[in-house]
Structure 1
Amino acid sequence: MDQGYEKEKFETFKIKTSVAKKFRNYCRTISKSQSMTLRHMVDFFEMNGVSPQDNLGDTISTLKGQVIKRSNAVIAIIKNIEKIHHKPTTAILQSLFEETSNIDKEDEDSFEFGTPTLITENEELEYYKKAYYKTQETNNDLKKDIKELLKNIKYVRNNFGMGHYRLNITKETLEHFKQKFENVYNNNPTETRR
């Protein structure tokens, strides 16, 4: 008897003889009663949302085989990518990190920090005063040089177009100004140009 259905009574169906024989043979192959086999079939169709007329194409076992083949192919591709791309790149990066760590250790060993000299507050104040006066002096010199250059600029009117300004100084004077400006910027670096 079917477990859980012992007290239910039987119902008869009218089906063709060939279909009944085929159904009974199928029930024997799966070792279930006719009632339970039919119940499992109906549950299968309802649970999977499939109709008995639907053709699923390949059997589930062949679909499973195809999925396994595809997953094996994906695994092979991933291993190949790892072997060809990731391992060499990782090795290169690792060797670079080892080299930089060796360079850093050598630099630390070769460079020694001396003991800092302590200065008093007055010495520090004097240092900043001198630096301030030196900057002021340089600034005043630059102002004088710019005024000198501006004195030597003359407006020239052009007959066939726009007028322009001409700087009336010698080549040596211009070179002297260039050198002076370069010395100012090279000897007194700003915060960003250290």
Structure 2
Amino acid sequence: MGDTYQKYRFSAISIKKDVALRFREFSRLVSDSHTLTLVAVMDFFERNDLSPNDDLGINNNRTNKRINAVIAILKNIEKYQTLPTKTMMDSLFHEMTEMEKEEETFDFGTPKLWDANEELEFYKTGYGNLQEQLTNVQEKMDSLMEKVIYIKSAFGPGYLKLDMDRESFDKLKNELQHVHHDYSTED
């Protein structure tokens, strides 16, 4: 370190004694030398386009209000979003561990191994059933569409009317829901 300073010429600056003492203490915290400390300070002000005379507004009432508002927002998020979500997640994980414990005690038995023909037959049958259900649903939808009538309104746009009694509609609705339920539970 001594060698690098011999290359430079130094200059003395007159500073009040109490300021010089304060700078020496600050310099020990920042750098190895007073020169490097002063360079770091000047670089900081230039890099951030600041002047030592600039008021950054840190100690004013407006900034304190903004900081308090941010704190209030964070507390609100924690109270109404983070904590309830954490509670729900804890509950779900607790239930999952309980379910895993129950699954450990349940014996599913040994699975039956299928050969290629049995597996092919299984999927052929499933495909045939789905085709049959699709045809059935298409027929029901066609009959439903035949019962839809366009009514032209004298006041405003026309509308569609279903020409079917309530009992027939409920029966059709139940049949379609039954087909949907059967399809969704086959998986």
Q: Tell me the TM-score normalized by structure 1.
A: 0.48
Asked which structure has the greater CA Rg, the reply is 1
Q: Tell me the TM-score normalized by structure 2.
A: 0.50
